[in-house]
């Protein structure tokens, strides 16, 4: 510790041979004689009202001049007099200087998995978590991963969304929504570990691109072409695509189905795998039961890894559509797996199925007071519909002469 005090000058420091000098003009600033004749700038001061001593080192003289040292010590004194511990401030600054978007997003995903990622404070479904991670890896990370999150501005995010909007409007809207959630979390009390002072995403909603409502469904003639085309697929893809049509289930619900979910002909999709977090029971007809049979934990096990077969379904759809076009003699309109669900729902009225049963078959929840007071679950009515729809598709398969190839029960 310093044992002499003086208003420091270059001459005084040059003449310093041992011990240290305390600058009388700057509280806490010390020039100390170290080993091998080196003279080092130090700072010693106690935090007011505590026993905690602040000890900091700047560097050697004359690499740091007296003016440099006084400016440095003045900043430390300002923090101390404001009740801020310079050591904590330095640690925070170091964290801020290394808080990239990638690091912040990792903390955000931890919060998402634990249910701290939104105001709802509930755990997200695996599908939602995967969607968030997919948007980050595909659309955010390539441009922003290495950037310090505090340096990201509105223009950076606008460029991301607009670039996506030029090629995929729906995905651009999802990207904007996810950016708002991520940066909103980082700027909220839920994201205090990031402590973002300004949310650069707050106006991204103004960029929303118009989306055309999807109305694609397959006609009965197209369903016949579909059955002929899907018969040529390998067994798992054939089974899965047929089940999408027969059960009106979503792609993820079918492809991630476990064998244990099927009990006595009833396939129960657990709440954790449905879009509305409500378990959905599907009474399988004889054909559906046969298609769901598996000797594995998963109805559709992956080939090379442990788990469900989640890859290759869109490629299978592309092959089926190409074959349908060959059968039709012209290019069949594009469709996605979800359009098979819409196809089933669109045939309910033609088959004289009432509205409530049709909605229950889709696992659409009742609305308003009906949701609170009407707890009748329409299981018998749903069972009748699924059997009626299966028989309708079975009739088309038999007419095309491919029922056996599709593992349909003999009639």
Cβ atoms of residues 152 and 174 within 8 Å: no
Q: In terms of domains, do 364 and 235 share one?
A: yes
Phi, psi of 169 (to 5 degrees): -65, -40
- 366 domain residue, yes or no: yes
Q: In terms of domains, do 284 and 356 share one?
A: yes
Q: In terms of domains, do 192 and 288 share one?
A: no
Q: In terms of domains, do 109 and 34 share one?
A: no
Last-in-domain residue among 207, 229, 261: 207
Q: What is the pLDDT of residue 83?
A: 82
Q: How sure is the predictor about 67, in pLDDT bands with cuts at 50, 70 and 90?
A: very high
331-389 residue pLDDT tens: 999 999 999 999 999 999 999 999 999 999 999 987 877 776 667 788 999 999 999 99
- 404 domain residue, yes or no: no
Q: In terms of domains, do 18 and 131 share one?
A: no
- 213 domain residue, yes or no: no
Last-in-domain residue among 86, 112, 145: 86
Last-in-domain residue among 86, 120, 141: 86
Q: In terms of domains, do 201 and 225 share one?
A: no
Q: In terms of domains, do 317 and 229 share one?
A: yes
CATH number of residue 115's parent domain: 1.10.150.130
Q: In terms of domains, do 110 and 196 share one?
A: yes
259-304 residue pLDDT tens: 999 999 999 999 888 888 889 999 999 999 999 999 999 999 998 8
- 411 domain residue, yes or no: no
- 212 domain residue, yes or no: no
Q: In terms of domains, do 322 and 228 share one?
A: yes
Domain count, the chain: 3
Helix or strand (DSSP H, E) at 20: strand 20-23
Q: In terms of domains, do 369 and 302 share one?
A: yes
CA 214 to chain centre: 24
Q: What is the pLDDT of residue 322?
A: 97
Nearest residue to 310 via CA among 260, 370, 263, 250: 250
CATH number of residue 319's parent domain: 1.10.443.10
Find the farthest-apart pair of alpha carbons in the chain and give their distance in angstroms, rounded: 109
* Residue 2, pLDDT above cutoff 60: no
Cβ atoms of residues 180 and 201 within 8 Å: yes
Tell me whether residue 376 is exposed, middle or buried, using C-beta atoms within 10 angstroms of its C-beta: 0 to 12, 13 to 18, 19 or more: exposed
Q: In terms of domains, do 325 and 394 share one?
A: yes
144-190 residue pLDDT tens: 999 999 999 999 999 999 999 998 888 999 999 999 999 999 999 88
* Residue 192, pLDDT above cutoff 90: no
Q: How sure is the predictor about 88, in pLDDT bands with cuts at 50, 70 and 90?
A: confident
CATH number of residue 10's parent domain: 3.30.160.390
Contacts of 73 (CB under 8 A, 6+ apart): 23, 26, 27, 28, 29, 43
Q: In terms of domains, do 382 and 236 share one?
A: yes
Residue 47's domain comprises: 4-86
């Amino acid at each position: 510790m310093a044992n002499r005090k003086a208003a420091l000058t270059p001459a005084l420091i040059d003449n310093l041979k041992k011990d240290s000098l305390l600058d009388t003009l700057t509280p806490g600033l010390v020039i100390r004689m170290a080993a091998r004749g080196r003279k080092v700038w130090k700072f010693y001061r106690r935090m007011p009202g505590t026993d905690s001593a602040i000890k900091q080192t700047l560097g050697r003289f004359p690499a740091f001049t007296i003016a440099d040292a006084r400016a440095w010590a003045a900043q430390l004194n300002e923090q101390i007099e404001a009740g801020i511990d310079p050591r904590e401030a330095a640690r925070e600054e170091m964290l801020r200087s290394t808080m990239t978007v990638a690091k912040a997003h990792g903390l955000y995903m931890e919060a998402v998995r634990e249910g701290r990622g939104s105001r709802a404070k509930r755990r997200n479904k695996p599908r939602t978590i995967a969607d968030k991670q997919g948007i980050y890896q595909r659309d955010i990370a390539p441009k922003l991963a290495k950037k310090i999150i505090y340096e990201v501005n509105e223009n950076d995010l606008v460029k991301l969304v607009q670039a996506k909007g030029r090629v995929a409007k729906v995905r651009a809207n999802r990207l904007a929504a996810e950016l708002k959630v991520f940066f909103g979390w980082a700027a909220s009390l839920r994201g205090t570990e990031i402590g973002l002072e300004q949310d650069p995403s707050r106006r991204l909603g103004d960029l929303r691109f118009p989306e055309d409502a999807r109305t694609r469904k397959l006609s009965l003639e197209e369903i016949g072409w579909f059955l002929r085309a899907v018969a040529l697929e390998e067994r798992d893809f054939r089974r899965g695509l047929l089940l999408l049509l027969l059960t009106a289930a979503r792609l993820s619900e079918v492809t991630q189905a476990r064998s244990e979910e099927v009990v006595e002909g009833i396939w129960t999709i657990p709440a954790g795998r449905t879009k509305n977090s409500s378990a959905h029971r599907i009474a399988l007809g004889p054909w559906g039961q046969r298609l769901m049979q598996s000797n594995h934990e998963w109805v559709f096990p992956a080939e090379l890894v442990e788990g469900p077969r989640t890859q290759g379904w869109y490629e299978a759809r592309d092959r089926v559509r190409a074959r349908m076009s060959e059968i039709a003699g012209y290019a069949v309109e594009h469709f996605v797996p979800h359009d098979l669900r819409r196809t089933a729902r669109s045939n309910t009225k033609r088959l004289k199925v009432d509205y409530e049963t049709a909605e229950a078959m889709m696992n659409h929840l009742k609305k308003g007071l009906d949701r609170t007071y009407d707890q009748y679950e329409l299981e018998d009515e749903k069972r009748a519909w699924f059997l009626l729809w299966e028989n309708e598709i079975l009739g088309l398969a038999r007419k095309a002469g491919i029922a056996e190839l599709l593992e349909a029960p003999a009639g």
